[in-house]
Amino acid sequence: MLVIVAPGQGAQSPGFLSAWLEIPGVKDRLSAWSEVAQLDLVSYGTTADADEIRDTSVAQPLLVAAGLVAAEALLGPDVPAGVVAGHSVGEFTAAALAGVLTPEQALALVRERGQAMAKAASVTRTGMTALLGGDEAEVLAAIERHGLTPANINGAGQIVAAGTIEQLDALAADPPARARPLSVAGAFHTHHMAPAVEHLRAEAAAITPGDPRVTLLSNSDGAAVTSGAEFVGRLVDQVGRPVRWDRCMATMQDLGVTAMIELLPGGTLTGLAKRALRGIETVALKTPDDLEAARALISKETAQ
Protein backbone atom coordinates (compact mmCIF):
# COMPACT_ATOMS: atom_id res chain seq x y z
CA MET A 1 0.00 0.00 0.00
CA LEU A 2 1.21 3.49 -0.93
CA VAL A 3 1.06 6.57 1.29
CA ILE A 4 1.61 10.09 -0.03
CA VAL A 5 2.76 12.56 2.60
CA ALA A 6 3.27 16.33 2.70
CA PRO A 7 5.97 17.99 4.87
CA GLY A 8 5.48 20.84 7.29
CA GLN A 9 7.03 24.21 7.98
CA GLY A 10 10.81 24.29 8.05
CA ALA A 11 11.17 22.04 4.99
CA GLN A 12 11.40 25.03 2.64
CA SER A 13 14.73 26.37 1.34
CA PRO A 14 15.66 29.28 -0.96
CA GLY A 15 15.02 28.56 -4.64
CA PHE A 16 13.40 25.16 -4.06
CA LEU A 17 10.73 25.79 -6.71
CA SER A 18 13.08 27.04 -9.46
CA ALA A 19 13.53 23.79 -11.37
CA TRP A 20 9.81 22.99 -11.18
CA LEU A 21 8.94 26.07 -13.23
CA GLU A 22 10.44 24.31 -16.26
CA ILE A 23 7.49 21.89 -16.24
CA PRO A 24 4.75 23.19 -18.59
CA GLY A 25 1.82 24.71 -16.71
CA VAL A 26 3.51 24.91 -13.31
CA LYS A 27 4.26 28.62 -13.45
CA ASP A 28 0.72 29.41 -14.61
CA ARG A 29 -0.72 27.28 -11.81
CA LEU A 30 1.41 28.98 -9.18
CA SER A 31 0.54 32.40 -10.58
CA ALA A 32 -3.18 31.63 -10.32
CA TRP A 33 -2.76 30.37 -6.77
CA SER A 34 -0.75 33.49 -5.94
CA GLU A 35 -3.95 35.50 -6.28
CA VAL A 36 -5.70 33.20 -3.82
CA ALA A 37 -2.80 33.25 -1.36
CA GLN A 38 -2.27 36.99 -1.87
CA LEU A 39 1.46 36.27 -2.22
CA ASP A 40 3.81 36.04 -5.20
CA LEU A 41 4.43 32.32 -4.83
CA VAL A 42 6.69 32.18 -7.89
CA SER A 43 9.00 34.85 -6.51
CA TYR A 44 9.03 33.44 -2.98
CA GLY A 45 9.79 29.96 -4.31
CA THR A 46 12.62 31.04 -6.59
CA THR A 47 14.39 34.27 -5.63
CA ALA A 48 13.46 34.97 -1.98
CA ASP A 49 16.10 34.44 0.70
CA ALA A 50 15.89 32.20 3.77
CA ASP A 51 14.61 34.95 6.07
CA GLU A 52 11.81 35.90 3.69
CA ILE A 53 10.47 32.36 3.39
CA ARG A 54 10.92 31.73 7.11
CA ASP A 55 8.08 34.22 7.72
CA THR A 56 5.15 32.09 8.83
CA SER A 57 2.62 33.99 6.71
CA VAL A 58 4.75 33.23 3.64
CA ALA A 59 6.06 29.75 4.44
CA GLN A 60 2.70 28.09 5.01
CA PRO A 61 0.95 29.00 1.72
CA LEU A 62 4.23 28.44 -0.13
CA LEU A 63 4.59 24.90 1.21
CA VAL A 64 0.99 23.96 0.45
CA ALA A 65 1.25 25.35 -3.08
CA ALA A 66 4.55 23.52 -3.62
CA GLY A 67 3.11 20.23 -2.44
CA LEU A 68 0.03 20.56 -4.61
CA VAL A 69 1.89 21.57 -7.75
CA ALA A 70 4.29 18.67 -7.31
CA ALA A 71 1.33 16.32 -6.78
CA GLU A 72 -0.26 17.55 -10.01
CA ALA A 73 3.00 17.02 -11.90
CA LEU A 74 3.26 13.50 -10.48
CA LEU A 75 -0.33 12.32 -10.35
CA GLY A 76 -2.48 14.47 -12.60
CA PRO A 77 -6.12 14.48 -11.43
CA ASP A 78 -5.96 11.06 -9.77
CA VAL A 79 -4.54 10.04 -6.40
CA PRO A 80 -3.45 6.38 -6.60
CA ALA A 81 -2.43 6.31 -2.93
CA GLY A 82 -4.26 4.18 -0.42
CA VAL A 83 -3.33 6.62 2.35
CA VAL A 84 -2.65 10.37 2.51
CA ALA A 85 -1.22 12.36 5.41
CA GLY A 86 0.49 15.69 6.08
CA HIS A 87 2.69 16.98 8.87
CA SER A 88 1.37 20.18 10.48
CA VAL A 89 0.62 22.62 7.65
CA GLY A 90 1.09 19.67 5.29
CA GLU A 91 -2.33 18.49 6.47
CA PHE A 92 -3.82 21.19 4.22
CA THR A 93 -2.03 19.67 1.24
CA ALA A 94 -3.27 16.23 2.27
CA ALA A 95 -6.83 17.53 2.67
CA ALA A 96 -6.78 18.85 -0.90
CA LEU A 97 -5.35 15.59 -2.27
CA ALA A 98 -8.08 13.64 -0.46
CA GLY A 99 -10.85 15.89 -1.79
CA VAL A 100 -11.82 17.41 1.56
CA LEU A 101 -10.81 20.86 0.28
CA THR A 102 -10.22 22.21 -3.21
CA PRO A 103 -6.71 23.56 -3.80
CA GLU A 104 -8.15 27.05 -3.72
CA GLN A 105 -9.95 26.44 -0.42
CA ALA A 106 -6.80 24.96 1.07
CA LEU A 107 -4.69 27.94 0.02
CA ALA A 108 -7.24 30.52 1.16
CA LEU A 109 -7.58 28.84 4.56
CA VAL A 110 -3.84 28.32 5.01
CA ARG A 111 -3.29 31.98 4.14
CA GLU A 112 -5.47 32.87 7.12
CA ARG A 113 -3.70 30.25 9.25
CA GLY A 114 -0.26 31.61 8.44
CA GLN A 115 -1.21 35.21 9.07
CA ALA A 116 -3.00 34.39 12.33
CA MET A 117 -0.12 32.23 13.59
CA ALA A 118 2.41 34.92 12.70
CA LYS A 119 0.34 37.46 14.62
CA ALA A 120 0.06 35.15 17.63
CA ALA A 121 3.80 34.48 17.52
CA SER A 122 4.56 38.22 17.58
CA VAL A 123 3.06 38.62 21.07
CA THR A 124 5.92 36.78 22.80
CA ARG A 125 9.32 35.72 21.48
CA THR A 126 8.88 31.99 20.98
CA GLY A 127 10.39 29.19 18.92
CA MET A 128 10.92 25.46 18.52
CA THR A 129 13.86 23.11 19.04
CA ALA A 130 14.17 19.53 17.81
CA LEU A 131 15.56 17.04 20.31
CA LEU A 132 17.14 14.10 18.52
CA GLY A 133 17.78 10.78 20.22
CA GLY A 134 17.91 10.29 23.97
CA ASP A 135 15.47 8.42 26.16
CA GLU A 136 11.90 9.50 25.34
CA ALA A 137 10.78 9.64 28.97
CA GLU A 138 13.81 11.73 29.94
CA VAL A 139 13.31 14.07 26.98
CA LEU A 140 9.63 14.61 27.83
CA ALA A 141 10.49 15.15 31.50
CA ALA A 142 13.09 17.80 30.58
CA ILE A 143 10.59 19.56 28.31
CA GLU A 144 8.04 19.67 31.12
CA ARG A 145 10.66 20.80 33.66
CA HIS A 146 11.47 23.86 31.56
CA GLY A 147 7.80 24.76 31.05
CA LEU A 148 7.88 23.83 27.37
CA THR A 149 5.42 21.84 25.25
CA PRO A 150 6.26 18.70 23.20
CA ALA A 151 4.74 20.31 20.10
CA ASN A 152 5.76 17.56 17.66
CA ILE A 153 6.24 13.95 18.71
CA ASN A 154 7.59 12.67 15.42
CA GLY A 155 8.76 9.17 16.28
CA ALA A 156 12.14 7.73 15.30
CA GLY A 157 13.73 9.49 18.27
CA GLN A 158 12.61 13.03 17.39
CA ILE A 159 10.59 15.29 19.67
CA VAL A 160 10.18 19.04 19.12
CA ALA A 161 9.99 21.33 22.14
CA ALA A 162 8.22 24.68 21.82
CA GLY A 163 7.92 27.71 24.06
CA THR A 164 9.53 31.03 24.84
CA ILE A 165 13.08 31.79 23.75
CA GLU A 166 14.14 31.97 27.41
CA GLN A 167 12.71 28.49 28.07
CA LEU A 168 14.41 27.11 24.96
CA ASP A 169 17.73 28.67 25.95
CA ALA A 170 17.49 27.02 29.37
CA LEU A 171 16.79 23.68 27.68
CA ALA A 172 19.75 24.14 25.33
CA ALA A 173 22.04 24.77 28.30
CA ASP A 174 21.24 21.32 29.67
CA PRO A 175 19.75 19.28 26.81
CA PRO A 176 18.46 15.73 27.36
CA ALA A 177 19.40 14.88 23.75
CA ARG A 178 21.05 16.51 20.73
CA ALA A 179 19.30 19.86 20.24
CA ARG A 180 18.70 21.61 16.91
CA PRO A 181 16.80 24.93 16.72
CA LEU A 182 14.21 24.93 13.93
CA SER A 183 13.76 27.58 11.25
CA VAL A 184 10.29 28.62 12.39
CA ALA A 185 9.09 31.87 13.88
CA GLY A 186 6.94 30.76 16.79
CA ALA A 187 5.85 28.10 19.29
CA PHE A 188 3.40 26.38 16.99
CA HIS A 189 1.01 23.69 18.27
CA THR A 190 1.05 25.15 21.80
CA HIS A 191 -1.16 27.39 23.93
CA HIS A 192 0.70 30.39 22.46
CA MET A 193 -1.39 29.84 19.29
CA ALA A 194 -4.82 30.16 20.97
CA PRO A 195 -5.74 33.43 19.16
CA ALA A 196 -4.91 31.81 15.82
CA VAL A 197 -7.18 28.87 16.57
CA GLU A 198 -10.17 31.14 17.13
CA HIS A 199 -9.46 33.14 13.98
CA LEU A 200 -9.13 30.01 11.86
CA ARG A 201 -12.32 28.52 13.31
CA ALA A 202 -14.25 31.57 12.15
CA GLU A 203 -12.74 31.37 8.65
CA ALA A 204 -13.35 27.63 8.35
CA ALA A 205 -17.04 28.04 9.21
CA ALA A 206 -17.68 29.34 5.69
CA ILE A 207 -16.35 26.17 4.03
CA THR A 208 -18.41 23.13 3.07
CA PRO A 209 -15.85 20.33 2.87
CA GLY A 210 -16.13 17.05 1.02
CA ASP A 211 -15.58 13.66 2.62
CA PRO A 212 -12.16 12.07 1.96
CA ARG A 213 -11.90 9.94 -1.19
CA VAL A 214 -8.91 8.03 0.23
CA THR A 215 -7.76 7.12 3.73
CA LEU A 216 -6.79 10.41 5.38
CA LEU A 217 -4.83 10.44 8.64
CA SER A 218 -5.03 13.11 11.32
CA ASN A 219 -2.08 14.59 13.22
CA SER A 220 -4.16 14.69 16.39
CA ASP A 221 -3.98 10.97 17.06
CA GLY A 222 -3.05 9.21 13.83
CA ALA A 223 -6.67 8.17 13.22
CA ALA A 224 -8.18 7.78 9.76
CA VAL A 225 -10.93 10.41 9.49
CA THR A 226 -13.90 9.66 7.24
CA SER A 227 -15.80 12.94 7.64
CA GLY A 228 -14.62 16.06 5.84
CA ALA A 229 -16.26 18.32 8.40
CA GLU A 230 -14.50 16.50 11.23
CA PHE A 231 -11.15 16.74 9.45
CA VAL A 232 -11.50 20.50 8.95
CA GLY A 233 -12.36 20.85 12.64
CA ARG A 234 -9.21 18.93 13.47
CA LEU A 235 -7.19 21.19 11.14
CA VAL A 236 -8.36 24.17 13.17
CA ASP A 237 -7.70 22.64 16.58
CA GLN A 238 -4.30 21.31 15.51
CA VAL A 239 -2.87 24.83 15.42
CA GLY A 240 -2.82 24.76 19.23
CA ARG A 241 -2.29 21.03 19.79
CA PRO A 242 0.79 18.78 19.48
CA VAL A 243 1.43 16.97 16.20
CA ARG A 244 1.52 13.20 16.77
CA TRP A 245 3.36 12.06 13.67
CA ASP A 246 4.50 9.00 15.62
CA ARG A 247 0.88 7.88 15.77
CA CYS A 248 0.37 8.60 12.07
CA MET A 249 3.30 6.29 11.27
CA ALA A 250 1.93 3.66 13.66
CA THR A 251 -1.37 3.75 11.75
CA MET A 252 0.50 3.46 8.44
CA GLN A 253 2.18 0.34 9.77
CA ASP A 254 -1.14 -1.10 10.96
CA LEU A 255 -2.67 -0.44 7.53
CA GLY A 256 0.16 -2.29 5.81
CA VAL A 257 1.85 0.66 4.09
CA THR A 258 4.87 -0.53 2.13
CA ALA A 259 5.81 2.58 0.12
CA MET A 260 5.91 6.36 0.75
CA ILE A 261 6.20 9.33 -1.58
CA GLU A 262 6.91 12.65 0.10
CA LEU A 263 5.80 15.70 -1.83
CA LEU A 264 7.95 18.77 -2.43
CA PRO A 265 10.06 19.80 -0.54
CA GLY A 266 10.67 16.19 0.45
CA GLY A 267 13.17 14.56 2.75
CA THR A 268 12.04 15.09 6.34
CA LEU A 269 9.17 12.60 6.53
CA THR A 270 10.83 9.93 4.41
CA GLY A 271 13.83 10.22 6.73
CA LEU A 272 11.61 9.52 9.73
CA ALA A 273 9.92 6.63 7.91
CA LYS A 274 13.22 4.92 7.10
CA ARG A 275 13.99 4.76 10.81
CA ALA A 276 10.50 3.98 12.15
CA LEU A 277 8.93 1.91 9.34
CA ARG A 278 11.56 -0.71 8.58
CA GLY A 279 11.61 -1.99 5.00
CA ILE A 280 9.41 0.76 3.55
CA GLU A 281 10.35 2.02 0.07
CA THR A 282 10.53 5.81 -0.14
CA VAL A 283 10.89 8.58 -2.70
CA ALA A 284 11.25 12.22 -1.65
CA LEU A 285 10.38 14.82 -4.29
CA LYS A 286 13.04 17.52 -4.25
CA THR A 287 13.54 18.26 -7.96
CA PRO A 288 11.63 17.20 -11.09
CA ASP A 289 14.32 14.55 -11.60
CA ASP A 290 12.68 12.64 -8.73
CA LEU A 291 9.39 12.26 -10.59
CA GLU A 292 10.57 9.24 -12.59
CA ALA A 293 11.41 7.26 -9.44
CA ALA A 294 8.11 8.27 -7.86
CA ARG A 295 6.14 7.12 -10.90
CA ALA A 296 8.01 3.83 -10.92
CA LEU A 297 7.13 3.29 -7.26
CA ILE A 298 3.47 4.07 -7.97
CA SER A 299 3.45 1.56 -10.85
CA LYS A 300 5.03 -1.09 -8.64
CA GLU A 301 2.50 -0.56 -5.85
CA THR A 302 -0.56 -0.45 -8.11
CA ALA A 303 0.54 -3.62 -9.90
CA GLN A 304 0.53 -5.63 -6.70
Q: Which residues are identified as catalytic? A: 88, 189
Task: Give the β-pairing of 83-86 and 2-6.
Answer: parallel
Burial of 205 (0-12, 13-18, 19+ CB in 10 A): exposed
Give 122's DSSP letter.
Answer: T
Q: Dihedrals φ, ψ of 158, to 5°?
A: -130, 120
Numbers of helices and strands, H then E, in the chain: 13, 9
Nearest to 186 by CA among 62, 54, 63: 54
Backbone conformation region of residue 163, classed left if phi is above 0, alpha if psi is from -120 to 50, else beta: left
Contacts of 32 (CB under 8 A, 6+ apart): none
Rounded-to-integer distance, Cα 37 and Cα 114, Å: 10
Rounded-to-integer distance, Cα 113 and Cα 107, Å: 10
Secondary structure class of 262 (helix, strand, coil): strand
Contacts of 185 (CB under 8 A, 6+ apart): 54, 55, 56, 118, 121, 127
